[in-house]
Amino acid sequence: MQKKNLGYLAGAVVLVGAGAWYFTSSGGADQKALAGKDRAQPPTTVSVVAPLRQDVPVELAANGTVTPLQTVDLRAQTTATIRQVHIKEGQFVKAGTLMFSLDDRSDVANVDKAQAQVARDQATLADVERQYKRSQDLVAQKFLAQSAVDTLKSQVDAARATLLADQAAVRASRVSAGYSTIRAPLSGRVGAINVYPGSLMQPATSLTTITQLDPISVSFTLPESSLGSLLAAQKSGNVAVQASVGSAKPLTGKLSFVDNTVDAQSGTIRVKAEFDNRDSNLWPGQYVNTRVTVQTIKDAVVIPQQAIVTNAHGTFVYVAQQDQSAKLVPVARLHAFGLNAAVSGLTGLEQVITDGKQNLRPGGKIRLAKAAPAAATGNAS
């Protein structure tokens, strides 16, 4: 009986201990929850900018090479010696300027010989025509047979043909004599001169080159993904192209050529632009940076690119609300240039959050840091 009472007493002690542990642990959890509620998430410090409204040119940038519109390698068409050089290296010449004179004594003699042959043919023809005319009178008086008249008529026709052939020979001799003077076929700058008076010339010998410098062109390539916008801009009118050498002021020209084939290996298309080069700012073979303006986005909303957040859900920005909270606004990037980007989805009156957005959630509380300047302007590229 005594042992049974001891068992009841031990069970009661265990129940009392368990209840005490339960109430103690539950109270601790509740206290921790209350403490967490007392420690609410503090506002996130952010920086904001006001979007800008401006026209944004959409430009394609590429590296190019200056190429002349025309360049000619002058060569002699006959074998002769140089009699005189009339120009200097680096000289600017106009089309038709006399540049080289060759030894033309043989050609002049051939012209004189051909002209003498023509004079002899004219005399022969005149004599045969007189005989033919007298024979017609004799036939009318029946003093001469008709066959003799026919023979004289053939001689007249042959003499006329010989005269025409020799007149053509005179013209050919004059053409050959014309090869002894070499004139500039176009206006441009003379290159290095490779011959001197007395040099024996062969048709394969290069005398010099003439390169047209004004106007001049710039050749460059663009990715095939730009072909659509490039052709669309070309259909709308003249396409502006800028070319710059180092830190010099860019020169403005216009698009003049788009190749008819895309290079399958590089995935690019060849393009040319023409520039006014009266001041010789561009030189053949020079390396330049080019920009092609294919479109202008009118009155675009411009914000810093660092304000744009892109993830698996899309592209958006955080906007500061009047109640000091952050709002998520979806945007579309129209064109990026430098540190800025033109976007759609904003009115331009918002305060766009730039710094601190990595710690934000939609509706989260914010605290503005020191005011930041508005989005910086810049050229599109």
Do 205 and 267 fall within a single domain?
no
| Residues 245, 287 share a domain | yes
Residue 41's pLDDT band (cuts 50, 70, 90)? low
Number of domains in the chain: 4
Q: Mean pLDDT across the stretch 4-31? A: 46
Q: What's the N-to-C CA distance of the chain in angstroms?
A: 101
Instruction: With beta carbons less than 8 A apart as the criterion, state whether 272 and 218 touch.
Output: yes
- Residue 2 placed within a domain: no
- The enclosing domain of 125 has a CATH number of 1.10.287
Residues 285 and 235 in one domain: yes
The domain boundary, picked from 253, 275, 297, lies at 297
Question: Does a structural domain hold residue 22?
Answer: no
Rank 24-33, 109-118, 359-368 by mean pLDDT and report only the highest. 109-118
Q: Of the residues 297, 328, 359, which one is the last residue of a structural domain?
A: 297
Q: Which of 179, 200, 235 is the last residue of a domain?
A: 179
Q: Is residue 33 one of the residues assigned to a domain?
A: no
Residues 333-355: tens digit of each pLDDT: 998 888 999 999 998 899 999 88
pLDDT category of residue 370 using cuts at 50, 70 and 90: low
Tell me if 127 is assigned to some domain: yes
Q: Are residues 173 and 194 in the same domain?
A: no
Nearest to 105 by CA among 205, 186, 177: 177
Mean pLDDT throughout 123-152? 78
Whether 7 maps to a domain, the answer reads no
Long-range (24+ apart) CB contacts under 8 A made by 234-242 are 234/258, 239/292, 239/293, 239/294, 240/292, 240/293, 241/273, 241/275, 241/290, 241/291, 241/292, 241/293, 242/290, 242/291, 242/293
Residues 285 and 303 in one domain: no
Q: What is the CATH number of the domain that holds 338?
A: 2.40.420.20
pLDDT tens per residue across span 175-193: 988 888 999 999 999 999 9
Domain hosting 190: range is: 82-103+180-211
Question: Percent of the chain scored above 70 by pLDDT?
Answer: 85
Do 315 and 203 share a structural domain? Answer: no
Of the candidates 180, 182, 132, which has an alpha carbon nearest to the alpha carbon of residue 156?
A: 132
CA dist 1 and 344 (Å) reads 91
* Helix/strand/coil (H/E/C) assignment for every residue in the chain: CHHHHHHHHHHHHHHHHHHHHHHHHHHHHHHHHHHHHHCCCCCEEEEEECCEEEEEEEEEEEEEEEEECCEEEEECCCCEEEEEECCCCCCEECCCCEEEEECCHHHHHHHHHHHHHHHHHHHHHHHHHHHHHHHHHHHHCCCCCHHHHHHHHHHHHHHHHHHHHHHHHHHHHHHHHHCCEEECCCCEEECCCCCCCCCEECCCCEEEEEECCCCEEEEEEEEHHHHHHHHHHHHHCCCEEEEECCCCCCEEEEEEEEEEEEECCCCEEEEEEEECCCCCCCCCCCEEEEEEEEEEEEEEEEEEHHHCEEECCEEEEEEECCCCEEEEEECEEEEEECCEEEEECCCCCCCEEEECHHHCCCCCEEEECCCCCCCCCCCCC
Query: Which CATH number characterizes residue 287's domain?
Result: 2.40.30.170
Q: For residue 364, what pLDDT is reported?
A: 86
117/126 Cα distance (integer angstroms): 14
CA distance 168 to 114: 9
Residues 315 and 273 in one domain: no
- Proportion of the chain above pLDDT 90, given as a percent: 45
Q: Output the six-digit token pair for 178.
A: 């014309």
Same domain, 86 and 195: yes
Alpha carbons 335 and 339: distance in angstroms, whole number: 11
Q: For residues 135 and 99, state if they share a domain.
A: no
Query: Tens digits of per-residue pLDDT, 259-276?
Result: 999 999 999 999 999 999
Residue 177 and residue 108 in contact, taking contact as beta carbons nearer than 8 Å: yes
Same domain? 251 vs 287: yes
Tokens describing residue 80:
């002769």
Q: Is the pLDDT of residue 287 over 90?
A: yes
90 domain residue, yes or no: yes
- 13: in domain: no
Same domain, 336 and 242: no
For the segment 279-295, the average pLDDT, to the nearest whole number, is: 91
Is 141 part of any domain? yes
Q: What is the model's pLDDT at position 222?
A: 92
Does one domain contain both 205 and 225? no
Q: Report d(CA 108, CA 174) in Å as an integer.
A: 8
